[in-house]
Structure 1
Amino acid sequence: MKFEDDSQNLRARLRVIQILAFLMLAVLGVRLYMLQVVKGSYYAERAENQRIRLLPIPAPRGAILDHTGKKILVDSLSIYNVILSREDMKGKKFNDLLEPLSAGLQLEPDYLRTRFQEIESQPAFESIRIKENATTSDIAWVEAHALEFPELRVERQPQRRYPENGTLAHVLGYVGEISPKQLEQPKYKDKGYKPGDIIGQEGIEAVYDDFLRGRDGYRKVVVNSRGHIQDEIETVQPQAGQDLITSIDLDLQLAAEDQLRNSPSKRGVIIVMNPNNGEILALASAPSYDPNLFTQRISSKEGRAEYAALLRDPSTPLYNRAIQGRYPPGSTWKIPMSIAGLQQGAITTDRSTMTCGGGITIGNKFTRCMGNHGTPPLDYAITKSCDGYYYRLALKMGIDGLIEMVKEFELDKPTGVDLPHELFSWTPAYWKPKLEARGEQWKDIRTVYSSIGQDTVAITPLASLRAISSIAVGGKLFVPHLAREFKQVAAIGEPDSNGYHPPRPAHGFDRPNPKILPIEPEHHDLVIKGMWGVVNNGGTAARIKMANFEIAGKTGTAQVVELGKDTGDNKDHAWFVSFAPAYKPEIAVLALIENVGFGGTHAAPAVRAIYDVYYRNTRHEEPPGTLIAKKQ
């Protein structure tokens, strides 16, 4: 009986063992099935990815060229950068790298911490540039410590170069590494941008980034467990960005910047434009800055100190005065006022006289004119810049007439120039509704002040030149622009290959049709006659007269503070806006010199210097006239 019990116990134990063995085999089978069948491709791909790397080959940006397509304004150089691959860190912490990289590559710890924070928020396979323009010592250090820091590598990459340094800074702008905030914006996120990518940050570098930016290539390589390259499987070459031919005439640009640099205040704007199509030939804003700071020095301690100094500078060199500066235009405002007065019937070509009276009394306040011009016709009032004439013309037009003029010349909106951050001008069209919303009534004295470009009028220099240029050509209001043509880029690779980049075709600037202003020929001729007289018939800019190349223009002396306090940085702004030849314009030029006094004394001679260069280059002889343009 006992024997039978032992036999039964043994059989029971064997069954338990069999069941356990079966369960273990079942578990192993399921696990193997999951590994090899269900997730087989996943683990195979993961193993392959641990062995194969795609190393990007950054594409150079397209060059930016002058109007001839021959002078380089911006190009790219090839430099060496130190790259950190997060994928190859093998469990290391960023803090472990702080001290050795700081010492070995001469990098500030705070800078490295910032770089590490930027990449920590990105996918684990991303790489980031930790040192630009690596020296031979930097490269030697990385190579000597390859076993210790396999996550570091040296790559050859393009770096943007601005050969003219501070010249054209506000036009060209600069490039820089995309910021974490930008990476969150749809316009960058949707295009697949990643940390470390270089994009246009300001100027036409930013506006035309999609065209200037190239398409990266890559090297497909085999690496060992330490991340060292063992073999190269494939190379896909990058496709460079498209070269951009601009409308910039470098000779005119250099002359403009030279005039501003040598002006008494060293602050202001000079713009040169073709009034027949809106092309900007020169645009100078002073003071300026060197855009190479942002591509070559910003990652260094000295570079960041230089940038901080620019931000603190009270003269605001980063500020593009041509499109972001709002200034009272002074008497240059009288030119669109004259056209509007004729259009609206406040005056006619036959009966354009208006009393000067040495000024006007509104209520108990007398607002003076700088002279007593009797009862001048319109052309004489322009030539002599008679304020009294325009006080009365504005009252006859009324504030609604002034607002109609503003809208006609689109002075209530940005010009649409192909530069970022353009501001619209402040005019009665902007301020009148705001005053009324506060329960204030628009008064005649404001209309009087507005008639001579003061009080509620503060316009951008580019908006002013655009309006005057439209009058010069009989009523064509063009959109100012800098781009002329994008050059073709050939395809990279074969159409059916993985790394194929299709060709990028050449194309010109897509210029919108100009707005046509209803300027009658007789109105145009009368106003031009007055502007011609400013320079050629004893007007306020007679000193810049050029024989056989007649300039039509208008001076402006814009009051910054009340009379008696206009000294130093509170002195009047000097304006001169013009075009030439007067009756068949080829070129329009504006100068605004901040806080220097009379427009005829400071701004007009600066403009004459531009005309001298233009005449010399187009007529191939020395410019005519009695004035030899000189530095102020």
Structure 2
Amino acid sequence: MYPNRLKILFVLIALLHLALVGRLAQLQLVQGGKYSGLSKKRLIKEHTLSARRGSIYDRHGRPLALEEASFDVEVRYKNLLYSYYASRSAKDESNELPPDLSKIKAHKRRDTACQECHPYDDLWVERVSRLLDLKPDELLARAEVAVKRVESIKKNVQRGRKRRVRIQEELASLPIAKNISVEKAAELETRLEQYPGVSLVARPKRYYPNGELACHLLGSLGKLSEAEWQKIKGLRVESSDSRLSLYYSTLSKDTLVGRGGLEAQYDVELQGRPGKRIEEIVLKTLKVDKVIFDMPPQAGHDLFLTLDLDVQRLAESALSGLGDKNGSIVVMDTETGEILALASCPGFDLNTFNLDYTRLASDPRKPLLNRPLQAALPPGSTFKPITALSALAGGEIAPSTQFYCGGKLMIGDRFRHCTSTHYQMRLEEAMEHSCNIYFYETAKRLEGVNLENKARAFGLGEKTGIDLPFEGAGLVPVTRSLGERLNLSIGQGELLTTPLQMTRMMATVANGGKLVSPHLLRKVVSLEEDLPWESASGGSRKKGTVSISPEHLKVLRNALRRVVINGTARGKGLDVLEVAGKTGTSQTGTKGVYHAWFLGYMPYNNPRYCLCVVVEETTGHGGEVAAPVAQQLAQGLLHRDTAQLTAKRDTGIEGR
């Protein structure tokens, strides 16, 4: 329809193609020599700019993990190469230079001293050795390692390309001393012009200002393994989550990632986004001529925890006072599930973790085990509240039901023993004195499945969903005989629980039936916004309720209060601190060796805190060993609340 227009269009397209081909020919055939010369005189170099990893703070903003600057001394490869071969030549005149250097005319003359051509290239050795208090031979030994590594890389590259090349390592500065002191770094920075070929490089370093404190829950950092790196490269393509895709894109083979604890759980939030800089370098001077591209790094998000540094310090101090015993402490808010302290003994120094790892991994006390959520132990008599609630709910017993305890009871063809002769007892008295016979008699009336289901309703046998990796699930066994049901009723047999699970169970009793979600993260803070803990990528946030009759709850709470007044935890000072709780002494399979437990909450009339203390493999019982530790915790929590109340009151007075 429009033949002329089509012809004009075809002509224009042909002219454009012709112009493009002409320009390409000009660049390659006519001006090729010019640009080839430029490429041999200049180099495009790309730098990755490290991003600051997010910091971790306690609930009051006190630092637990920070990013601080670590300083390295780097020397230009040219200076390292000269110093190395000059020192070798001084010792051995037959020393051979690398092929590239031996072909240079000046290097063929043995009568010419190296200093005539390179008067300042080895000056760094003397001055850096004096600055860092190192022997020159030690610096030269480090230079030798660097030179041999670079020359080996270059040799392999040239073999592959079958021609002489200049690799990037030859144009770079290489570290000769790492992690020097701030004082030495400041001295070098102010006199850098006196150190030819030397540069000072600041790199990020993770620092834990409290050393061992909260080591298990904070975690550590480490590099990706080859297998992990290959997996991440695949996830970059496969992940449908844009947030995770962005995270994977920020990682490189040398990126430090979380290797445990919160550092691993919230690595997505903590990991910053590296920046990039592309520079054009003049090969003759090795100086930057211009910056072609510059994208600054983005810092990672900061974490504010529910943890209270003072309570955590108190918990760890209490455990360390037990000598060489292993143990756990959990302090949790009964209403919200916020963790105020999560202590595991023994611990380790996070600042030297990588250096100490081999020793720690082989230590028979297993210091790497995060006991509050990984030590699966029989809970002993701290399980008896579940037995009581199960039997009360099913009508197998009433609060007034009495059983006789004569110190032992024949069931089947064997005796079952109690810790004492308690005579005629009701439920509250049985809980107060932890009478095994009473709970054996109760278990005889119970259906095993009801007891198991009640245990699972309280969250036993499954992970709590806390925002920490590697949590254990424990085990609620299926009872197939009366003997197994009797064992389960007093927290023995195949039943395994973690201290955190039992803390959650007692919190459910304290708050009236709400199964809280234990968590450590309070909020994520970035430049853009503050995210509450529910919005972050941590634990599974398991919540629920347990149906408990108000009448039965009242009976159980009275019984737990009686435990610390006249029962198995009497005389430990817990009564005056308004604590209610239950002791436990679980068997270990070794005669005379037990796991000592105390599980409780405070204040009794208005529960706010839930406490769990476990001391493993001790000769004492729960009331003797664990209850005094719980008293230290309760005393510290009372002082904390009093101090906070006083501070608020004083602030209010000042504001008037």
TM-score in terms of structure 2 length = 0.72
**What is the aligned partner in structure 2 of residue 258 from structure 1?**
317
- Give yes or no for the alignment of 1:605 onto 2:651: no
Structure 1 gap ranges (5+)? 1-28, 94-99, 433-441, 490-502, 623-632
| Cα deviations by residue, 1:231-256 (Å, 9 ceiling, x for unpaired) | 34254332211111101111111111
1:134, distance to aligned residue in structure 2 (A): 5.1
1:478 paired residue number: 516
Give the drift of 1:34: 13
Q: For 1:54, give the aligned amino acid.
A: E
- Does the alignment pair 1:574 with 2:633? no
SS at match of 1:289: coil
Matched position secondary structure for 2:263 = helix
Q: For 1:265, what is the secondary structure of its paired residue?
A: coil
The correspondence of residues 266-345 of structure 1 with structure 2, limited to 5 A, is: 266-294=325-353, 298=354, 303=355, 306-345=356-395
Residue of structure 2 in register with 1:591 after alignment:
613
Is 2:52 the counterpart of 1:60?
Answer: yes
| Deviation of 1:340 (Å) | 1.9
* 1:399–1:539 distance in 2 versus 1, CA, 3 Å: same
Q: Distance in 1 between matches of 2:589 and 2:231?
A: 42
Give the whole-Å Cα distance in 1 for the aligned partners of 2:137 and 2:305.
Answer: 42
Report if aligned partners of 2:560, 2:582 keep a CA contact under 8 Å in 1: yes
Q: Secondary structure of 2:369's match?
A: coil
Bigger share in helix:
2
Letter of the 1:610 partner, please give it: L
Q: 1:583 to 1:559 in 2, by over 3 A?
A: same
Distance 1:583-1:227 versus aligned 2 partners, 3 A rule: farther
Q: The residue matched to 1:528 in structure 2 has which SS?
A: helix
- The correspondence for 2:567, drawn from 539, 554, 561, is 539
Candidates 419, 422, 425, aligned match of 1:376: 425
Alignment partner of 1:73 out of 64, 71, 75: 64
% same residue: 31
Counterpart position of 1:561: 589
**Residues 609/224 of structure 1: CA separation in 2 closer, same or farther (3 Å cut):** same
TM score, norm. by length of structure 1: 0.74
Partner Cα separation in structure 2 for residue 256 and residue 248 of structure 1: 12
* Matched AA of 1:452: I
With over 3 angstroms needed to count, the CA separation of the structure-2 counterparts of 1:452 and 1:188, relative to structure 1, is farther
1:413 corresponds in structure 2 to 462
CA contact (8 A) 1:353 1:375 kept: yes
SS at structure 2 position matched to 1:459: coil
Contact 2:465–2:542 (8 Å) recurs in 1? no
**Cα displacement (A) at 1:589:** 0.8
- Distance (Å, rounded) in 2 between the aligned partners of 1:357 and 1:80: 73
Indicate conservation of the 8 Å contact 1:325/1:461, yes or no: yes
Q: 1:183 to 1:621 in 2, by over 3 A?
A: closer
The reply on whether 1:450 has 2:488 as its aligned counterpart is: yes
SS in 1 for 2:534: coil
Instruction: Give the SS at the match of 1:554.
Output: strand
Contact 1:57 1:157 in 2 (8 A): no
Q: Select 1:172's aligned residue among 186, 194, 218.
A: 218
SS at structure 1 position matched to 2:403: coil
Q: Is the 8 A contact 1:265 1:594 kept in 2?
A: no
Question: 2:113 corresponds to which residue?
Answer: none
Distance in structure 1 (CA, Å) of the matches to 2:359 and 2:284 = 44
| Distance apart, 1:318 and its partner CA | 0.9
Is the CA contact 1:265–1:595 (under 8 Å) kept in the aligned structure 2?
no
1:154 to 1:598, Cα distance in 2 relative to 1, 3 A: same
Name 1:163's counterpart in structure 2: 209
Q: Is the 8 A contact 2:596 2:616 kept in 1?
A: yes
When residues 361 and 228 of structure 1 are mapped into structure 2, their CA distance, relative to the original with a 3 A threshold, is: farther
Pairwise CA distance, 1:202: 0.8
Partner of residue 126, structure 2: none
Residue in structure 2 matched with residue 212 of structure 1 by the alignment: 270
- SS of corresponding position for 2:456: helix
Q: Quick one: which of 185, 198, 201 aligns to 2:259? A: 201
Deviations 1:193-249 (A, max 9, x none): 212101111100110111111112233322233793423425433221111110111
The letter for the 2-side match of 1:551 is V
Q: Distance in 2 between matches of 1:461 and 1:171?
A: 15
Q: How far does residue 104 in structure 1 lie from its aligned partner after superposition?
A: 4.8
Q: CA deviation at 1:545?
A: 3.3
Residues 315 and 329 in structure 2, CA contact (< 8 A), matched pair in contact too: yes
Report Cα offsets for 1:340-374 as digits up to 9, x if no partner.
Answer: 2222222234x433343423323211110112222
Q: Report the aligned-residue RMSD.
A: 3.9
Q: Per-residue CA shift, 1:85-141, capped at 9, x if unaligned?
A: 99xx9xx99xxxxxx99965759989x99xx99xx9xxx99999987525769x99x
Report how far residue 391 of structure 1 moved: 1.3
